[in-house]
Amino acid sequence: MIGGLQNITKIPELKKRILFTFFMLAVYRLGCHIPTPGINGAALSAFFGAKQGTLFGLFDMFSGGALRRMSVMALGIMPYISAAIILELLAVVVPYLEKLNKEGEQGRKKIVQYTRYGTVILCVVQGFGIALGLERMSSPGGVAVVPVGGWGFRLLTMLTLTAGTVFLMWLGEQITERGIGNGISLIIFAGIVARFPTAVANTFRLMSTGELTPFFMIIILALMITVVGVIVFVETGQRRIPVQYAKRVVGRKMYGGQSTHLPLKVNTAGVIPPIFASSIIMFPATIANFLNVRQIPWLQTIVNFLAPGHIVYILIYVIFIFFFCYFYTAVHFNPVDVADNMKRYGGFIPGIRPGKNTAEYIDRVLTRITFFGAIYVSAICVLPQILIYKLNVPFYFGGTALLIVVGVAIDTMNQIEAHMLTRHYEGFLKKGFGRAK
Alpha carbon distance 386, 379 (integer Å) = 10
Q: What is the DSSP string of 224-268?
A: HHHHHHHHHHHHT-EEEEEEEE--EEETTEEE---EEEEEEETTT
Quote the pLDDT of residue 436. Answer: 43
- 33 pLDDT higher than 50: yes
Cβ-in-10-Å burial (0-12, 13-18, 19+) of 302 comes to middle
Q: What is the DSSP string of 70-101?
A: TBTTTTTTHHHHHHHHHHHHHHHH-HHHHHHH
Alpha carbon distance 288, 296 (integer Å) = 11
Residues 1, 162 contacting (CB under 8 angstroms): no
- 31 pLDDT higher than 80: yes
Nearest residue to 189 via CA among 400, 423, 368, 416:
400
Mean pLDDT on 16-24: 90
Quote the pLDDT of residue 213. Answer: 78
Instruction: Say which residues have a Cβ less than 8 Å from residue 372's Cβ, sequence separation at least 6.
Output: 266
Q: Mark 68-100 as b/e (b = at least 16 C-beta within 10 Å).
A: bbbbbbbbbbbbbbbbbbebbeebeeeeebeeb
- 27 pLDDT higher than 60: yes
Nearest residue to 400 via CA among 372, 375, 379, 415:
379
- When the pLDDT of each residue in the chain is averaged and rounded to a whole number, the result is 79
Beta bridge partners of 138: 144
Cβ-in-10-Å burial (0-12, 13-18, 19+) of 138 comes to middle
Name which of 15-19, 130-134, 257-261, 339-343 the model is least confident about: 257-261
Share of the chain above pLDDT 90, in %: 12
Beta bridge partners of 144: 138
What are the residue ranges of CATH 1.10.3370.10 in the chain?
13-194, 237-397
Quote the pLDDT of residue 248. Answer: 64
Quote the pLDDT of residue 432. Answer: 42
Beta bridge partners of 248: 255
Q: What angle do CA 159, 164, 166 make, to 5 degrees?
A: 95
What pTM does this model have? Answer: 0.77
Name which of 71-75, 124-128, 311-315, 387-391 the model is least confident about: 387-391
SS3 assignment, position 210: coil
Residue with the larger pLDDT of the pair 365 and 421? 365
Alpha carbon distance 367, 363 (integer Å) = 6
- 428 pLDDT higher than 80: no
Residues 199, 36 contacting (CB under 8 angstroms): no
Mean pLDDT on 33-55: 72
Quote the pLDDT of residue 295. Answer: 62
- 413 pLDDT higher than 50: yes
Name which of 144-153, 205-214, 249-258 the model is least confident about: 249-258
Quote the pLDDT of residue 183. Answer: 85
pLDDT per residue over 96-114, tens digit each? Answer: 888 887 777 788 888 889 9
- 302 pLDDT higher than 90: no
Instruction: Say which residues have a Cβ less than 8 Å from residue 99's Cβ, sequence separation at least 6.
Output: 107
CB atoms within 10 A of CB 199: 11
Quote the pLDDT of residue 391. Answer: 61
Q: How confident is the model at residue 435 (pLDDT cuts 50, 70, 90)?
A: very low
Q: Could you give the dihedral angle defined by the CA atoms of residues 381, 33, 42 and 56, in that order, rounded to the nearest 10 degrees?
A: -30
Mean pLDDT on 268-292: 72
Residue with the larger pLDDT of the pair 137 and 317? 317
Superfamily of domain 13-194: SecY subunit domain (1.10.3370.10)
Residues 84, 173 contacting (CB under 8 angstroms): no
Cβ-in-10-Å burial (0-12, 13-18, 19+) of 434 comes to exposed
Superfamily of domain 237-397: SecY subunit domain (1.10.3370.10)
pLDDT per residue over 335-373, tens digit each? Answer: 888 888 888 877 888 888 888 899 999 999 999 999 999
Residues 248, 346 contacting (CB under 8 angstroms): yes
Candidate ranges 115-124, 188-197, 297-306, 383-392; pick with highest mean pLDDT: 115-124
CB atoms within 10 A of CB 321: 26
Q: How confident is the model at residue 388 (pLDDT cuts 50, 70, 90)?
A: low
Quote the pLDDT of residue 430. Answer: 46
Quote the pLDDT of residue 171. Answer: 92
pLDDT per residue over 259-273, tens digit each? Answer: 888 888 888 888 888
347-348 β-sheet, strand order: 259-265, 238-245, 347-348
- 375 pLDDT higher than 70: yes
